[in-house]
């Protein structure tokens, strides 16, 4: 199987695993018509291909009604019966054998609660059963290649609904919780908050503090850069570039604030 297709199939199966609870070994429900088709593929190991197609371990199964249908085909189909016998027999509780299609419909039911992967050829049956969400289907295409169908509309709809459900649940969990309430210690600082409010106008205080702190920080940075500057011209250039922008502004601010010595910073921007 080509890499691209293998990847696509893996993604498709991941959907069934993630949303519908599928687990390996995947239970492959074999239709009688599927086995007839599989018997025609002489040069491929059909049994192995089942696992390759769903990209995982498989447990092929066949119902009493489906194997009955193969017996009724007569001697020519004995080799297909033999193929079917490799699969595990799945009880369908049809005392009298019913048409294979009807049997498989009963097995899948409304919701495919036993999480079967259906392997059938009958297109009307596939269409009919695609109303059940979470039913992977594989069949042989016209060229005899075993293909896994893309997820049905019902499947996609159920997946979206499940995701939507999870989202709403998440939103509900957050109801009534204030932003920041999940921060460590957030339940204590009511006192701290009150204290803050009691202090002087935070705007005026903050502004000065920021300018001073930034000034100090910049000064330290400048000193470090001047030290490095001796090593080469490139650094000097970079620094000069900055000096004309942010550094110059900072210096002007420091001067305006009543002057912390400019020292190295000034030296730096004037050199060269
Ligand atoms: Zn049956």
Distance from Cα 97 to the centre of ligand 1, integer Å: 6
Give the start-to-end residue ranges of the domains of the chain. 3-159, 198-270
DSSP SS3 for 272: coil
Distance from Cα 138 to the centre of ligand 1, integer Å: 20
Distance from Cα 99 to the centre of ligand 1, integer Å: 8
Residues 134, 19: contact at Cβ < 8 Å? Answer: yes
Distance from Cα 137 to the centre of ligand 1, integer Å: 19
What pLDDT does 243 receive? Answer: 46
Alpha-carbon separation of residue 196 from 202, 213, 230, 259 (angstroms): 8, 20, 46, 29
Distance from Cα 102 to the centre of ligand 1, integer Å: 7
Distance from Cα 71 to the centre of ligand 1, integer Å: 14
Q: Which residues of the chain have pLDDT under 70?
A: 182-183, 185-272
- For 115-176, the three-class secondary structure string (H helix, E strand, C coil) is CEEEECCCHHHHHHHCCCCCCCEEEECCCCCEEECCCCHHHHHHHHHHHHHHHHHHHHHHCC
Extract the tokens encoding 171.
Answer: 């939103």
Distance from Cα 27 to the centre of ligand 1, integer Å: 16
Residues 59, 28: contact at Cβ < 8 Å? Answer: yes
Q: Which residue has the tokens 């009691």?
A: 198
What pLDDT does 173 receive? Answer: 80
Q: Percent of the chain beyond pLDDT 70? A: 67
CATH of domain 3-159: 3.40.50.1010
What distance in Å separates the CA atoms of residue 81 and residue 70, rounded to the nearest whole number? 6
What pLDDT does 259 receive? Answer: 46
Distance from Cα 241 to the centre of ligand 1, integer Å: 83
Distance from Cα 213 to the centre of ligand 1, integer Å: 82
Distance from Cα 22 to the centre of ligand 1, integer Å: 23
What pLDDT does 209 receive? Answer: 52
Distance from Cα 18 to the centre of ligand 1, integer Å: 29
How many other β-carbons are positioned within 10 Å of the β-carbon of residue 250? 23
What distance in Å separates the CA atoms of residue 148 and residue 137, rounded to the nearest whole number? 6
What pLDDT does 229 receive? Answer: 47
pLDDT tens digits, residue range 66-77? 999 999 999 999
Distance from Cα 17 to the centre of ligand 1, integer Å: 26
What distance in Å separates the CA atoms of residue 4 and residue 27, rounded to the nearest whole number? 24
Closest CA to 116 of 23, 11, 19, 26: 26
Distance from Cα 81 to the centre of ligand 1, integer Å: 16
């Amino acid at each position: 199987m080509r890499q691209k297709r293998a990847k696509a199939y893996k993604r498709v199966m991941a959907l069934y695993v993630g949303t519908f609870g599928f687990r390996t070994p995947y239970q492959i429900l074999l239709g009688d018509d599927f086995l007839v088709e599989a018997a025609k593929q002489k040069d491929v190991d059909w049994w192995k291909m089942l696992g390759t197609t769903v990209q995982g371990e498989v447990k092929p199964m066949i119902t009493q009604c489906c194997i009955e249908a193969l017996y009724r085909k007569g001697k020519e189909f004995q080799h297909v019966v033999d193929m079917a016998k490799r699969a595990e027999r799945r009880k369908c509780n049809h005392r009298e054998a019913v048409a294979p299609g009807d049997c498989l419909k009963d097995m899948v039911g409304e919701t495919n609660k036993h999480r079967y992967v259906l392997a059938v050829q009958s297109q009307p049956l596939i269409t009919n059963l695609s109303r059940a969400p979470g039913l992977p289907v594989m069949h042989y295409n016209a060229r005899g290649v075993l293909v896994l169908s893309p997820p049905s509309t019902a499947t996609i709809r159920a997946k979206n609904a499940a995701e939507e459900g999870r989202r709403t649940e998440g939103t509900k969990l957050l109801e009534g919780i204030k932003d920041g309430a999940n921060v460590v210690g957030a339940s204590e600082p009511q006192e701290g908050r009150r204290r803050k409010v009691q202090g002087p106008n935070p705007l005026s205080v903050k502004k000065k503090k920021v300018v001073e702190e930034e000034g100090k920080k910049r000064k330290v940075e400048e000193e470090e850069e001047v030290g490095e500057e001796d090593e080469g011209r490139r650094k000097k250039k970079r620094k000069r570039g900055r000096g004309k922008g942010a550094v110059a502004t900072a210096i002007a601010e420091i001067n305006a604030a009543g002057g912390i010595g400019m020292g190295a910073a000034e030296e730096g921007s004037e050199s060269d």
